Amino acid sequence: MLAAFRKAASLTRAASAGQRRFLSIHEYQSMKLLNDYGIPTPKSIPAKTPQEAYDVARNFGTDKLVIKAQVLAGGRGKGKFDNGFQGGVHTVDSPAQAKEIAEKMIGSHLITKQTGGHGRICNAVMLAERRQPAHEYYVAVLNDRASGGVVLVASAQGGMNIEEVAAKDPNAIITTPISFEKGLSREEALAVAQKLGFKDEKAQSQAADTFIKLYRIFKDKDATQIEINPMALTTDGEVLCMDAKFGFDDNAEFRQKDIFALRDISQEEPSEVEAQKANLNFIKLDGSIGCLVNGAGLAMATMDVLSLHGGNPANFLDVGGGATPETVKKAFEIIVSDPKVKSIFINIFGGIMRCDYIAEGVIKAAKELNLSIPLVVRLKGTKEAEAKEMIRASGLTIIPFDNLDEAAEQAVKLAA
């Protein structure tokens, strides 16, 4: 269960490379969704300009507020803006202070442990009332591959990295299977609340209500994960969701129009957004060898072989089984738009995908884009002979290989 939890709780870019990524939404949007289902949170209001932040703070009803940069990345509190301002989460005590901090956040890039060196643009802040927690908990609803169903994961050790908690003390994690059809029963929810250490009936009831409603959102909105960290029992006896992260299944976009309308592409890598429009499975990485491969498994293996020979892939790119010459050309445009790319490795196994289609796209792209980056090509399978003849007849400087290791080694040398 622990391995499955880790995998679901923190999807890595490599592990999700062959799939479209799950939609994430901003914290202020998550808070509204929780409130729409009757789940209590601290009062919170977004602002998209410094003046809006001033107006929100002035009319909030209290001066004791927290201002949070709305950026889709973890570690905001310890992050740093590209203008030198430290921290994406601050307390404020006046409307003027809220405006001053918003001016430093909005329009700047917040750099955290999850964003890379460029950071992510902050287009909004959220102002929330300060509520003092007496104890913090962790709660998540997610898919569990081991059981083939949905589980409620909870811990009395909230407000920290839950993976570290699970590694140090697996017994601190309470896992409760949820019936997909029936949901979480009142009895089951109360039992979890009691195991977490909620003492009085009021707090147990509030926590149980939250668990039940979280699953309702999970099912209604085709979520893949809901993570509340922390859920708090406040000093005045209320159970509140203090922070929330949602993931939604991209395959459900056709029936979750309201959720997917919340997508903020400014938080995504531009080349990945462009690739998605062309139905290309593309993930930008930090290396210097552009990769164009068909099939997620072969693409991952190609990246491994390049690494084995001392190279660093600039991207994951699976053109899929239905690629056309136009799709291949678009893939090349995306790859060469990265100034770090020094060589391109094309590795195609033609099953459903025809090698001659790839060759046609490669030749077209090389000519139309005046490609000067060296190309290493390995084509095997359907229409292989025709593809190789097309490349030979093109007159372009394309380096062909049959052996994968030799091809990868050459791509690495050319990128050095």
Query: Looking only at Cα atoms, what is the longest distance across the chain?
Result: 80
Same-domain pairing of 240 and 161? yes
- 125 and 239 in a single domain? The answer is no
Tell me, what's the pLDDT at 159?
Answer: 79
Q: Which residue reads 């976009």 in tokens?
A: 253
Q: Which of the residues in the chain have pLDDT under 70?
A: 1-21, 321
Measured CA to CA, the distance from residue 363 to residue 175 in angstroms comes to 54
Q: In terms of domains, do 175 and 158 share one?
A: yes
Using DSSP's 3-state secondary structure scheme, residue 132 falls into coil
Same domain, 52 and 182: no
- Per-residue three-class SS string for 109-121: EEECCCCCCCCEE
Both 119 and 148 in one domain: the answer is: no
- pLDDT, residue 21, reads 56
The two three-digit tokens of residue 175, written as one number = 């896992």
- The pLDDT tens digits of the residues spanning 80-95 come to 999 999 999 999 999 9
Q: Are residues 48 and 173 in the same domain?
A: no
Amino acid at 323: A
Counting beta carbons within 10 angstroms of the beta carbon of residue 15, is it exposed (0 to 12), middle (13 to 18) or buried (19 or more)?
A: exposed
Q: Are 288 and 362 found together in one domain? A: yes
109 strand-pairing partners = 121
**Is there a contact between 71 and 267 (Cβ–Cβ < 8 Å)?**
yes
Distance between CA 312 and CA 309 in Å, rounded?
9
Q: What is the pLDDT of residue 18?
A: 39
What CATH number is associated with residue 350? 3.40.50.261
Q: In whole angstroms, what separates CA 13 from the centre of its chain?
A: 8
Domain assignment present for residue 11? The answer is no
How many domains are contained in the chain? Answer: 3
d(C-alpha 402, C-alpha 380), whole Å: 7
Give yes or no: residues 253 and 362 share one domain. no
* Same domain for 282 and 397: yes
CATH number, position 60: 3.30.1490.20
Note whether 56 and 96 are same-domain residues: yes
Any domain includes 119: yes
Task: Give which of 88, 92, 96, 86 is closest to 50, Cα–Cα.
Answer: 96
34 within a domain of the structure (yes/no): no
pLDDT given at position 147: 84
Instruction: Supply the CATH number for residue 235's domain.
Output: 3.30.470.20
Q: Which are the catalytic amino acids?
A: 138, 227
- Shared domain for 340 and 277, answered yes or no, is yes
Q: DSSP secondary-structure letter at 74?
A: S
Residue 226, SS3 per DSSP: strand
Locate all alpha helices (DSSP H) within 60-117, ordered by sequence: 95-105
266 CB neighbour count, 10 Å cutoff: 13
- Strands of the sheet containing 109-111, edge to edge, are 80-81, 109-111, 120-121
Rounded distance between C-alpha atoms, residue 339 and residue 358, angstroms: 23
Bridge-based pairing of strands 244-248 and 289-293 is unpaired
CA–CA distance, 412 with 288 (Å, rounded to integer): 9
Is the CB of residue 344 less than 8 Å from the CB of residue 312? no
Domain that holds residue 224: 133-260
Contact 385, 350 (CB under 8 A): no
- The residue with tokens 């569990």 is 144
Half-sphere exposure of 230 (CA within 13 A, CB side): 18
* Same domain (yes/no): 389, 274: yes
For residue 289 the two structure tokens come to 């060898």
The pLDDT of residue 296 = 87
Which residues participate in the annotated binding site? 68, 75-77, 136, 229, 243, 294, 351-353
Residue numbers belonging to the annotated binding site for Mg(2+): 229, 243
User: Is residue 19 domain-resident?
Assistant: no
According to the model, what pLDDT value does residue 14 have?
A: 41
Would residue 88 count as lying in a domain? yes
Distance of alpha carbon 233 from alpha carbon 135, whole angstroms: 5
**Residue 26 counted as domain residue:** no
